[in-house]
Structure 1
């Protein structure tokens, strides 16, 4: 099978990637990206191993894509045209796309004839987006899969995997009591309440939040005393600001998880009752105790056995305090969690599942 995986980095990590990665060639850029481990739970085993029959592209990165085009003697800077040329040059048989909102159904219709199967990952409500041209839409949220089926798509359950390098960070001292990393905005109301509540522990415990703040939030917080009052809705509460750090991704995140007793997680408001975002796999894979909101979790993620859940912001704070104090109980649950995700969600299990899905199309 000749596999092509396209990955979109999104705006926040794209800025980091552009600042920190200055490749001399396309291949070097992909190698450096894979070493950073951004989004690694979604990267399929042949791509991660950089096998000769597997190709990885970052289809939303103009600089890197233009490097490939120049190396092939192409003069175009159009990202869609470059991606199509890469697929044809690779003689791709299976196209797996993690960025279907940029490269949707209309793009699939332009694929060269060598492509036999098309699969995309989409784990969020997507408005009127049409992905019906894909042979298969996958994610690990059953309610989202049901929405895609209602839109006429074939949709099946698929899951992230534990990154092999997480084991490097699963042991050692854990000086951080509670860690959260991810996005924080006025659109994440439920999550924001939880973060505010747990931040109250900061007077006696080490609480670290690595937050991807919006440009408006960064702007309004640069002015003291509410000088721009009509933008105050973007201002974070003082308790959040007091424990906030810059956002982290990939290995940077793993390193902090490896120092954390507890990783706090919370679904965003549009997730419904489904749970199992990438943070769950990262926290458990790096050996921290996952403290997450109550809901329907994937196999192996069970409250009180491999993870701990909360129902309210107040309960999140109470349970965080309890498991910070009870190191023995915390360590037992965290270790059972690490063992469970490594057994159930390894890269080899993920790749086997991907092949099963292809066979079913």
Structure 2
């Protein structure tokens, strides 16, 4: 199978990558630096991670990366990123196209794919406005309610899961000096999450609580010296959060931070109803921390009270965390069970087999 996997980058991660790859002067070198950093690796299929010759990977929205390839291949002028991506697919003689960035490259893009492409898939586990993905062979995701919404819009939709990065095995075997870690986005759209973070931040006086937050542009402006004079109060973080907030972390730095933490706090945002199992769940358990997350329906291996803990409200979360830390030897055993169960259930080998079954069935 000649597999082509396309992904995309968060703006805040792109800035991080540009620092890591500041001296990279070729497509291969910049891509290697990205892949070595492991950002998004839970979504990358086994042949991509293992750099098998029939698998090709790129970030189609990374202009620096893509223009390296265009120059190296002698594409004339200044082609669009879409033109470059189509040229890469044709050059690779792709048979199966798997796109992690389908809102940027929707059905209109699929209609332009070269004739060598036989099967098309995309991953989408978030609301997508009016995006048209009906031309894809199947929309993949791990939230049943969102998959059902795609079916109602005329798409074939199939359940599919992230898989642990094998490199996670290297992390989390030393002392865990951080009591509670939260890494994620913060904006006025994260209402429920903000209340939870504020409650847990109150533990910072007696526990080591670390927040690495990717704040919105308006939040950063609101908290600046200029922002203090602007009507942006609703975008400012509560003092308890702002006092301990640090910049976001990504990739291997993120793995290292989870591996140094006893508890990883997670809070879903209102996009998938009661479905749970966002990326943070897999990342936390994969690096051996105890996942403490909000009540809902979790995928196999994520079993409240057995492999993870849940809370029902922002008020309850501090009670759950305090109990887990007070009884840490028992909590550590639960985290260990979680790590083992998730590793057994969501391996790269099983993910690749499931993908192969989808290819055969679509």
Range of TM-score over shorter length = over 0.9
Aligned counterparts, 1:100-249, within 5 A: 100-223=102-225, 227-249=228-250
Q: What residue in structure 2 maps to residue 12 of structure 1?
A: 12
CA distance in 1, matches of 2:284, 2:46: 20
Structure 1 runs of 4+ off > 4 angstroms? none
Q: Secondary structure at the match of 1:120?
A: strand
Q: Displacement, 1:11?
A: 1.7
CA contact (8 A) 2:20 2:33 kept: no
Q: What residue in structure 2 maps to residue 69 of structure 1?
A: 70
CA distance in 2, matches of 1:29, 1:116: 29
Q: Secondary structure at the match of 1:156?
A: strand
CA contact (8 A) 2:292 2:311 kept: yes
Structure 1, unmatched stretches of 5+, are: none
CA distance in 2, matches of 1:207, 1:147: 37
Tell me the matched-pair count: 360
2:303 is the counterpart of 1:302: yes
Q: What residue in structure 1 maps to residue 81 of structure 2?
A: 79
CA distance in 1, matches of 2:161, 2:172: 21
1:310-336 deviations in whole A, cap 9, x for unaligned?
A: 000111111111111111111111000
CA distance in 2, matches of 1:21, 1:143: 39
CA distance in 1, matches of 2:246, 2:27: 32
1:157-206 deviations in whole A, cap 9, x for unaligned?
A: 00000111111112110110000001011101011110000110000000
CA contact (8 A) 1:189 1:269 kept: no
Q: Displacement, 1:229?
A: 4.2
Q: Displacement, 1:216?
A: 1.6
2:348 is the counterpart of 1:347: yes
CA distance in 2, matches of 1:227, 1:239: 17
CA distance in 1, matches of 2:29, 2:197: 39
Q: What residue in structure 1 maps to residue 2 of structure 2?
A: 2
Say which of 65, 87, 91 aligns to 1:89.
Answer: 91
* Of 195-204 and 15-24, the range deviating more from structure 2: 15-24
Q: What residue in structure 1 maps to residue 314 of structure 2?
A: 313
1:111-153 deviations in whole A, cap 9, x for unaligned?
A: 0000000000000111211100000100000000000000010
Q: Secondary structure at the match of 1:318?
A: helix
1:288-319 deviations in whole A, cap 9, x for unaligned?
A: 00000000100010000001000001111111
CA contact (8 A) 1:59 1:79 kept: yes
Structure 2, unmatched stretches of 5+, are: none
Q: What residue in structure 2 maps to residue 252 of structure 1?
A: 253
Q: Displacement, 1:58?
A: 0.7
Q: Secondary structure at the match of 1:353?
A: helix
CA distance in 2, matches of 1:25, 1:49: 20
CA distance in 2, matches of 1:256, 1:228: 36
CA distance in 2, matches of 1:191, 1:271: 14
Q: Secondary structure at the match of 1:145?
A: helix
1:233-275 deviations in whole A, cap 9, x for unaligned?
A: 1111110011111101111111000110000000012221110
CA distance in 2, matches of 1:126, 1:240: 29
